[in-house]
């Protein structure tokens, strides 16, 4: 009975998070520099299905479909992906401090974007360069860790720290070489993280790898439960721990690399949100993974709304997530239960 009651409670929490995400998404469509009423929103959306005599301006429709829709969807995808990656890494590494950039994906993406900006590349090439270098960085970390002596998990984490440091140094060197009037501000702003100017092309670029990685993590989330008990326990239950860990790393890296390449450096989401989700549904990844995804999407969407509406100029997301995430994390670690 207690197990059934706990499962029912967790399902209710997931339903509440899904409803909350739908509500925040609706509000996100309505607010902005160019406000849209709920009636106008529903009418514009229905006009794509049922022919309707428009009573709204072309500008209003353009704002809705070309500006807000791609940005809202991308904010949800990025928040969902970073949270899922953080929860996955914390599980397979059995480390509550693990975050999406633990294997250097963010540092590699930052280097790739900075290099592309230094060479005056287009926006799409900056995104592609960040994505490629992010994957290259994690591949390099994995190759180095295979040669490490002792614990393979510890070797993987230490390799990530070392390679991240090298690519961060490379990014600093690029900033030193960049034109201070044009290129340096562009690099600095990209590193702060933002969804400003999101285009449909960026959404299309991100949706396939994100959907693939997230779907696989959802399907094998019960195996992550087993990995939290250690490799020996997993072996006795017939689970190949090394294979599952590699699959999780590949999927988490894929969604992290895609997220960073389209949004820049957005910290704290993948570290804090999984812990907040644990407070709601516990440590069972059957519920923790979808809860982290939904909670992460809600969190980043709310932060993005604040970013684009609080001031006349947009505030970079990386700044806001740090302002919100750091106090939350302090709250978590100073509570009697601590972090788990």
Question: What is the distance between the alpha carbons of residues 184 and 179, in angstroms, rounded to a whole number?
Answer: 6
pLDDT tens string 52-69: 778 777 888 888 888 899
Q: What pLDDT shows up at residue 208?
A: 94
pLDDT of 23 strictly over 80: yes
**Least confident interval from 37-41, 60-64, 335-339:** 335-339
Q: What pLDDT shows up at residue 234?
A: 75
Tokens read off for 3: 């197990």
| Helix or strand (DSSP H, E) at 139 | helix 123-146
DSSP secondary structure of 32-49: SSS---HHHHHHHHHHTT
pLDDT tens string 310-325: 888 888 999 999 888 7
**Which structural domains are found in the chain, ordered by start?**
2-334 (1.10.3470.10)
Higher pLDDT among residues 49 and 10, named by residue: 10
pLDDT band at 337 (very low <50, low <70, confident <90, very high): low
Higher pLDDT among residues 328 and 43, named by residue: 43
Question: What is the distance between the alpha carbons of residues 134 and 232, in angstroms, rounded to a whole number?
Answer: 32
pLDDT tens string 188-222: 999 999 998 788 888 999 999 999 999 999 999 98
What does the mean pLDDT of the chain come to? 89
Question: What is the distance between the alpha carbons of residues 262 and 73, in angstroms, rounded to a whole number?
Answer: 12
pTM, rounded to two decimals: 0.92
pLDDT of 89 strictly over 70: yes
């Amino acid at each position: 009975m207690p197990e059934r009651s706990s499962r029912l409670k967790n399902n209710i929490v997931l339903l509440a998070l899904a409803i909350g995400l739908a509500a925040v998404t609706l509000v996100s469509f309505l607010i902005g520099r160019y406000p849209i009423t709920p009636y106008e929103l529903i009418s514009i959306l229905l006009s794509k299905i049922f022919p309707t005599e428009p009573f709204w301006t072309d500008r209003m429709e353009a704002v809705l479909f070309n500006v807000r829709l791609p940005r809202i969807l991308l904010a949800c995808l990025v928040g969902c992906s970073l949270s899922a990656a953080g929860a996955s890494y914390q599980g397979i590494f059995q480390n509550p401090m693990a975050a999406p950039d633990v294997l250097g994906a963010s540092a590699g993406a930052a280097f790739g974007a900075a290099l592309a900006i230094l060479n005056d590349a287009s926006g799409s090439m900056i995104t592609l360069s960040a994505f490629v270098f992010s994957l290259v960085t994690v591949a390099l970390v994995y190759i180095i860790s295979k040669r490490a002596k002792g614990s393979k998990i510890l070797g993987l984490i230490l390799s990530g720290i070392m390679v991240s440091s090298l690519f961060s140094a490379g990014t600093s060197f690029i900033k030193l070489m960049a034109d201070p009037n044009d290129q340096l501000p562009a690099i600095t702003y990209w590193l702060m993280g933002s969804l400003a100017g999101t285009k449909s092309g960026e959404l299309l670029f991100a949706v396939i790898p994100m959907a693939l990685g997230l779907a696989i993590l959802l399907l094998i989330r019960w195996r992550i439960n087993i990995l939290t008990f250690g490799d020996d326990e997993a072996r006795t239950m017939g689970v190949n721990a090394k294979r599952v860990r590699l699959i999780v790393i590949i999927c988490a890296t894929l969604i992290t690399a895609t997220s960073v390449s389209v949004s820049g450096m957005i910290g704290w989401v993948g570290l804090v949100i999984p812990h907040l989700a644990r407070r709601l549904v516990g440590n069972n990844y059957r519920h923790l993974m979808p809860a982290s995804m939904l909670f992460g999407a809600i969190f980043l969407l709310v932060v993005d709304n604040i970013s684009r509406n609080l001031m006349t100029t947009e505030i970079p997301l990386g700044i806001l997530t740090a302002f919100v995430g750091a106090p939350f994390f302090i709250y978590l670690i100073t509570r009697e239960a601590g972090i788990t």
